[in-house]
Amino acid sequence: MKISYREALRQALREALSTDPRVFLMGEDVGRYGGSYAVSKGLLDEFGPERIRDTPLSELGFVGAGVGAALGGMRPIVEVMTVNFSLLALDPIVNTAAALRHMSGGKFSVPLVVRMATGAGRQLAAQHSHSLENWYAHIPGIRVLAPATVADARGMLVQALADPDPVVMFEHAQLYNLEDELPDDWQCDITHAAVRRPGTQLTLISYGGSLPKAMQAASELASEGIDAEVIDLRVLRPLDSDTLTASVCKTHRAVIVDEGWKTCSLAAEIMARLMENCFYELDAPVARVCSEEVPIPYAKHLEDAALPQVAKIIAAVRGMLNV
């Protein structure tokens, strides 16, 4: 049976809340409202207000409280409405959660999970549409996840909660309605990238909300006789360089699809790693399809033009193969 990405996340939350009394969910509108993206709908009735905890509009306060609760023996899952709002909570995540273990000489771990929506495509304009995963991926001491499939939405939370260190999980807003079969083996690890489509002629590297676009591009390219491999990064920090290197050593070409802006992006980091790890395997300069360097606009035609799209990915591939 097919379920939605949203439902997969809800199942994961429900299972976590049912099996571990230390787990609780807190964030803006996660309770009575049912979650701003309806992920936690129904959980308040099932688990009550102590464990499905509505917070004030106070990102710094409640994410910081999540850090404290994790230190105090709980397993908090903190939901921040979008990555845009999470900037108000950068201090507890970056200065405290990420740094605490090292700064304390290994005395404290922070088993905190922070979930947030990211990405554009819903005509919500600049302050609700940005993709800032790379900011978090820059920080040592946290693990950064980006589930792009229904199975990963179901599986990653389990591993995130089992991780003794802080985990930040990005859920692309365009994926919540994505439907797919939930395989029996939805259990996953949170250390490796995944090959979503094997191929021989070039590697498309993507993650999160851009993965379906990369997959569609690969499918259209296949109908033209171009065989692309698609890699889903899944884990944005620590990056799984080995899987990327192995793929590019096989295909000798790479195009990166990343909804972040080019400048200082994850795409830039991946290009650098490929250059460091397999420069002499490359038959062409690595290319990337990123967002245009503008705050994401409201109007649909402008928003579409600002974002990576299937046509842009195909154009980048054709340019690389001279076809």
Partner 1 sequence: MTAPPESGQPLSLQLLADMLRIRRMEEKCAELYGAGKIRGFLHLYIGEEACAAGALRALAPEDNIVATYREHAHALLRGVPLRAIMAEMYGKAAGCCRGRGGSMHLFDAARRFYGGNAIVGGGLPLAVGLALADKLQGIARVTACFFGEGAMAEGAFHEAINLAALWRLPVLFCCENNLYAMGTALARSESQTDLCAKAASYRVAAVEVDGMDVRAVHEATRQATQQVRAGAGPFFLEYATYRFRAHSMFDPDLYRDKAEIEQWKQRGPIHSFTAQLKAAGELTEEAFLALDASAEAEVADAVAYAEAAEMEPIADLLKDVYTSQETS
Pick 92 or 208: Cβ nearer partner 1: 92
- Based on CB atoms, which residue is closest to partner 1, 34 or 61? 61
| Cross-strand partners of 80 | 116
- Within 10 angstroms of residue 237's Cβ, the number of other Cβ atoms is 21
Nearer to partner 1, 92 or 308 (CB): 92
276 catalytic, yes or no? no
Which residue number, 7 or 28, has a Cβ lying nearer to partner 1?
28
Smallest gap from Cβ 250 to partner 1, in A, equals: 23
**Residue 301 bears catalytic tag:** no
CB of 162 to partner 1, least distance (A): 11
Residue 105's Cβ-count burial label (10 Å; 0-12, 13-18, 19+) is: exposed
Q: Which residue out of 7, 28, 59, 229 is catalytically annotated?
A: 59
Antiparallel, parallel or unpaired: β 113-118 and 167-172: parallel
In the block, residue with structure tokens 């397993």? 75
Q: How far is the CB of 100 from partner 1 (least distance, A)?
A: 8
Tell me how far, at minimum, the Cβ of 59 lies from partner 1, in Å: 8
- Smallest distance, Å, CB 138 to partner 1? 11
Nearest to partner 1 of 51, 197 (CB atom): 51
Gap between the Cα atoms of 119 and 121, Å rounded: 7
Which residue bears the tokens 């129904």? 42
Least distance from partner 1 to the Cβ atom of residue 87, Å: 13
Q: Which residues bind partner 1 (CB under 8 A)?
A: 24, 50, 55-56, 58, 60-74, 76, 91-92, 95-96, 100-109, 140-141, 143, 163-165, 191, 237-239
In angstroms, give the least distance from the CB of 128 to partner 1: 21
Say if CB 227 and CB 199 are below 8 A apart. Answer: yes
17, 111, 194 from 263: Cα distances, Å: 40, 32, 25
**Token digits for 78?**
């903190």
Token look-up 């035609």 returns 301
Nearest to 145 by CA among 80, 273, 232, 203: 232
Q: How far is CA 198 from CA 14, 239, 273, in A?
A: 34, 20, 21
Active-site option among 128, 171, 172, 269: 128
Q: In the block, which residue shows the tokens 């509009």?
A: 57
What is the identity of the amino acid at 191?
T
Asked whether the bond before 212 is cis by omega within 30 degrees of 0, the reply is no
Residue closer to partner 1 by CB (options 21, 198) is 21
Decide whether 6 or 115 has the Cβ nearer to partner 1: 115
- Among residues 135, 104, 150, which one has the least CA distance to residue 3? 150
296: Cβ–Cβ under 8 A, 6 or more apart, which residues? Answer: 120, 125, 126, 129, 130, 303, 306, 307
Query: Which residues participate in catalysis according to the annotation?
Result: 59, 128
